[in-house]
Structure 1
Amino acid sequence: MIRLLKTEDFESAANIAALAYPGMHIQTPESKQAFIDRLKKEDEEQNGIQYFGYFNEDEELIGIYRLNEFDCNLNGRFQRIFGIGMVAVHLLHKKEKIAFKLLSHFHEYARQENVSLVSLYPFNPSFYRNMGYGYGPMKYEFKIKPSALVSNGEKGLVQFLSSNDEEAIVSLYNDYAQQHHGMIKRTWNERLRIKNAVTNYVGVKENEQLIGALAFTLEPVKDSHFLHQQLIVHEWIWSKPSAYKQIAAWLQSQQDQVDRIIFRTNDQSFLFALTNPLNDSNHLIPSANHEVATTGAGLMYRVCNVISFVHTTNFHNLKRPEEFTRILIKIEDTFLNEQNGLFEVVFNGDFWNATKLETSKENANISIGIHDLSSWWMGCVSIEALHKYGEVTLFNVEAKILDEWFSPSITPICFTSF
């Protein structure tokens, strides 16, 4: 049985999480109690967070997951999506398909709530790919010298921000999210971090309005002396290029105290804002390609209701067919049987409409796995590229036109961890 966790379940949930995620450092009685208190606080607030647990016949809790409800920018419009996190199974009950049942419950709950897109950060990408999740945007970790940033902004306009600036930071952040596909509106947890000053904030104001902000921490360089520091950028947002320039100039001025600035972003074009993008690896990729960033695959997406996704997004802001168009898509989804099969997607002049066909002797125009469909419809990969690698089969339709109709031209950007 899977149900919402109650207050009396939180201690058992903490025990499961402690063994499943030793990196969370909740093994001591004190840290475990702090984690339980956190669960209680999250449970009491209206924050879009819910904890579910799998209970066996003896009412013993043997698996948990956290559901996060978000407002996400899908190609220019905020829409409700779910994110799953903290999937954990009791150490004595591994290989009993508990994780499978938890994910199945999560997907079914999303469908009941008419949420068509879900996401997660995987502990193992291949595990979740097998469950129908497609790869999301690449994350680039730049590790640059402060002098690599252009310094022609007015660094004197940069000032420290405090928790009193919470609403201004949130407003700027949500405006930034409105302009960037894939961004999630500021969450309750992120607001809490601002209130508790978990990071330092600096910003730029114009006519009393915040137009740029950067969250950072200073950390000692591992295995070095106490004067050797690096600056970790946790968030960098701006509404005007001048605000970016001013904060960049301030960062550039830190070179007497900071050895390297670490900036993690989905935006590979950040390279072009640097005079010297090289990191500290001294690694050369043949032939004469200097390493400028390390990359990682993290966030993954899954369309869990194809028909609802088509109807709610209507693929807005994308090119439309010039006439009535009918596309047959054969989707392989072995995890959600409701989505395994043939779908008819029709454009009638104003809207895209999707219907599942029970039987048809026609050839599908597109044959694709749900994982690749999810990545394609989120703009993480083109169907032209998928076709080139043999991951999809196309019949009597052009890949380039399909990309114009169904895939955002920009890769998602996401700052939110969950």
Structure 2
Amino acid sequence: MIRLLQSKDLKKAADIASLAYPGMLIQTDEKKKELIERLETEQREPNGIQFFGCFDEQDELLGIFRVNDFECNINGKFQRIFGIGMVAVHLLHKKEKVAYQLLSYFHNYARQEKVALVSLYPFNPSFYRKMGYGYGPLRYEFKFKPGEMLADGNKGRVKFLTASDEEAIVTLYNEYAQNNHGMLKRTWKEREYIKARKTYYVGVEEENRLVGALSFTLEPVKDSHFLHHHMIIHEWIWSNPNAYKQLASWISSQQDQVDRVVFRTNDQSFVYSLSNPSNDSNHVIPSVYHEVATTGSGIMYRITSIESFVNGTNFHGLGKPQDKTKVLLAIEDTFITEQHGLYELSYSSGRWAIQKVEDNIQANITIGIHDLSSWWMGCVTVESLYNIGEAAIHQIDPKKLDEWFKPKNGPICFTAF
């Protein structure tokens, strides 16, 4: 049985989490108590967070997970999506399909709530790919010298922000999210971090309005002296180029105190912001390609209702066929089996419509739900999937399919969950 966790369940939930995530350093009684208090607060507040548990017939807790209720920019239009996190299974109940039960419940819950897209950060990408999750955007970790920032802005207008600037930071952040596909609106937990001053914030104002903000920490360089620091940029948002340039100039001015600036972003074009983007690895890729960033695959997406996704997004802002058009789409989904089958996408009068049809017609596209999710979120082209044999295309131009169904820019996401 799976149900919402109650106060009486939280100690066992903390025990499971401490063994599933030893890197969280919550093994001591004191740290577990802190976690229990945090779980109680998060479960109680109206914050879009819910904790669930899987129980056996003796009411023993076997596994837990957290549902995050988000608003996500999908190609310029905010949609409700879910994110699953803190998935953990009791150490004595591994290989008993507990995780399967947790994910099945989560997907069904999303479908009941008419949430067409879910997301997660995987402990093992291949495990979740088998459950229908597709790869999201890559993240690039740049590590550059402060003086390498191309900077000609007025850093004199940069000032420290405080917890009293929370609303201004949130407003700017949500404006940035409105303009960037994949971004989530500011969450309750992120607001709590601002209030608790988990990081430093600097910002730029124009006409008494915040137009740029940067969140950072300073960290000592490992095995070095106490004056040797790196700057870790956790968040960098702006509403116009001038605000960006002022913050870039401020970063550049930190050369005397900061050895390297660490900036993690989904935007590979950030390399053009630097006069020398090389990191500190001194690694050259043949023939002569200097290493500028390390790259990671993280957030993954899954469409839980194809019909709801089409009807909700209607591929807003993308190219449209010139005439009435039909596309037959064969979806392979072995985890949410009711989604498996053939769909007819038809375009008329400026809108796409979708219906499931008899599976006895030649499809224009045959694709797995994991790759469909990545494609429709703008992470990969269907032309690329076709070229490597991961999608079959029949009697239709893959370039047209990308024009109609793939967002022009890949998603970006700052939110950890």
TM-score, normalising length: structure 2: 0.99
Distance 1:206 1:212 in 2: 9
Match of 1:376 in 2: 375
Matches within 5 A, 1:276-355: 276-355=276-355
1:295-340 CA distance string (max 9 Å, x none): 0000000001001101110001011111111111111100000111
The one-letter code of the counterpart of 2:178 is Q
Distance 2:114 2:350 in 1: 22
SS at match of 1:374: helix
The one-letter code of the counterpart of 2:248 is A
Match of 2:258 in 1: 258
The one-letter code of the counterpart of 1:161 is L
Distance 1:169 1:327 in 2: 43
Displacement of 1:269 in angstroms is: 0.5
Distance 2:349 2:369 in 1: 26
Q: CA RMSD in A?
A: 0.6
Q: Does 1:385 align with 2:384?
A: yes
Matches within 5 A, 1:38-187: 38-187=38-187
Displacement of 1:44 in angstroms is: 1.4
4+ residue stretches of structure 1 with deviation over 2 A?
A: none
Distance 1:348 1:2 in 2: 43
Instruction: Tell me if structure 1 keeps the 8 A contact 2:14–2:32.
Output: yes
- Runs (5+) with no aligned partner, structure 2: none
Match of 1:15 in 2: 15
Displacement of 1:281 in angstroms is: 0.2
- Runs (5+) with no aligned partner, structure 1: none
SS at match of 1:39: helix
1:225-274 CA distance string (max 9 Å, x none): 11110000000000011111111111101000000000000000100011
- Name the CA shift for 1:333/1:259 in 2 (closer, same or farther; >3 Å): same
Distance 2:360 2:5 in 1: 47
| Same amino acid, percent of matched pairs | 63
The one-letter code of the counterpart of 1:408 is P
Instruction: Tell me if structure 1 keeps the 8 A contact 2:18–2:25.
Output: yes
Distance 2:281 2:350 in 1: 52
Distance 1:63 1:44 in 2: 20
Displacement of 1:151 in angstroms is: 2.6
Distance 2:250 2:148 in 1: 12
Displacement of 1:361 in angstroms is: 2.5
Match of 1:213 in 2: 213
Displacement of 1:350 in angstroms is: 2.4
SS at match of 1:87: strand
The one-letter code of the counterpart of 2:107 is H
Distance 1:235 1:207 in 2: 23
Distance 1:400 1:151 in 2: 38
Displacement of 1:223 in angstroms is: 1.5
Distance 2:192 2:253 in 1: 30
SS at match of 1:227: coil
Displacement of 1:376 in angstroms is: 0.2
Distance 2:75 2:182 in 1: 7
SS at match of 2:384: helix
SS at match of 2:254: helix
SS at match of 2:253: helix
1:128-175 CA distance string (max 9 Å, x none): 000000000000000000001123111110000000000000000000
Instruction: Tell me if structure 1 keeps the 8 A contact 2:341–2:359.
Output: no
1:359-378 CA distance string (max 9 Å, x none): 24320000000000000000
SS at match of 1:102: helix
Number of aligned pairs?
A: 417
1:367-413 CA distance string (max 9 Å, x none): 00000000000000000100011100000111000000000010101
The one-letter code of the counterpart of 2:352 is W
The one-letter code of the counterpart of 2:149 is L
Displacement of 1:344 in angstroms is: 1.1
